[in-house]
Amino acid sequence: MFKKILVPLDLTDKHGPALTIAAELARQGGGEVILLHVIEEIPGLSEAEVKDFYTRLERAARAHLEGLGASLRAREVPYGCKVVVGNRAPDTVAHARQIAADLIVLTAPLFEPKRPMAGWGSMSWKVSWMAPCPVLIVK
């Protein structure tokens, strides 16, 4: 059913359940998983000022994604990795459009009853509103 599943990730270890679900959906449907990390751009700085900084971040992000990709490879799920510099939510949605994603699977913050509005500014909330395809939010 889902042939191209986009999984936006940061560099934390909280995405295991989302990655597991994406892998199983891809495996069942004969699809692939695309791991995406968007490095947040620092506005107002020249490219010369941040070039080495972004290069180091990109290298670390690629290594992290490839490490996660190993679990997909072990499950015999085809995958790809992409690292971009930009704005997380809009660039995630743009990448979903660019690759014609059938589904986006992402991690969301847990609901806090004492602060019910806290998650409204989260990446998962923003992507779910802007996405060109279905979004599966995993907690």
Chain CA centroid to CA 57, Å: 16
pLDDT tens per residue, range 36-57: 999 998 888 777 778 889 999 9
pLDDT tens per residue, range 69-94: 999 999 999 999 999 999 999 999 99
Q: Is the pLDDT of residue 22 over 90?
A: yes
Higher pLDDT residue, 69 or 111? 69
CA–CA dist 101, 84 (Å, integer): 17
The pLDDT of residue 20: 95
Furthest CA-CA distance within the chain:
46
Tokens of 69: 């990709």
- The whole-number average pLDDT for the span 104-118 is 75
**Domains observed in the chain:** 4-138 (3.40.50.620)
pLDDT band at 13 (very low <50, low <70, confident <90, very high): confident
pLDDT tens per residue, range 98-109: 999 999 999 987
29 Cβ contact list (under 8 Å, min separation 6):
1, 2, 3
Nearest partner of 82 among 72, 102, 96, judged by Cα: 96
CA–CA dist 73, 116 (Å, integer): 38
Expressed in percent and rounded to 5, the helix, strand and coil fractions of the chain are 45, 20, 30
Kindly report the pTM of this predicted structure: 0.90
